[in-house]
């Protein structure tokens, strides 16, 4: 496979795989995230409550965010390993344009 095709193919796959993701709040694995990050998030119960509350808030406010911002933030968070995908991180990106 040529070098150019190797560089372009991932972009094409991403464009095809994620076109509608900015339309709806993505689904992250809260249990996996909290299992991997519970100590930094005040324990597993607190982590799950925080993430679920953030997901509900995002669903309520989703239409108020610009489409380009949603697309950028969803891609930024989705490209992280599954155990690092957080609704809190997505909300932070939507609010101020940063991901951590």
Q: Specify whether the backbone of 93 is left (phi greater than 0), alpha (psi in -120 to 50) or beta.
A: alpha
pTM: 0.72
Domain count, the chain: 1
Give the range of the structural domain holding residue 57, as residue numbers without chain letter: 3-96
The distance from CA 85 to its chain's CA centroid, rounded to whole angstroms, is 5
Measured CA to CA, the distance from residue 19 to residue 81 in angstroms comes to 20
Residues in the chain: 100
Are 47 and 89 within 8 A, CB to CB? no
Query: Tokens 């299992």 sit at which residue?
Result: 35
pLDDT in tens, 18-77: 544 458 999 999 999 999 987 777 788 899 999 999 999 999 999 999 999 999 999 999
Q: From CA 37, how far away is CA 91, in angstroms rounded?
A: 17
């Amino acid at each position: 496979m040529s070098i150019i095709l190797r560089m372009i193919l991932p972009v094409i796959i991403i464009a095809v795989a994620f076109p509608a993701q900015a339309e709806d709040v993505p689904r992250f694995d809260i249990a996996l995230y909290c299992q991997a990050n519970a100590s930094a998030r005040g324990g597993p119960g607190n982590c799950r409550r925080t993430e679920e509350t953030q997901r509900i808030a995002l669903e309520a406010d989703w239409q108020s965010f610009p489409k380009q911002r949603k697309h950028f933030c969803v891609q930024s968070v989705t490209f992280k390993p599954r155990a690092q995908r957080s609704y809190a991180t997505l909300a932070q990106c939507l609010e101020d344009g940063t991901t951590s």
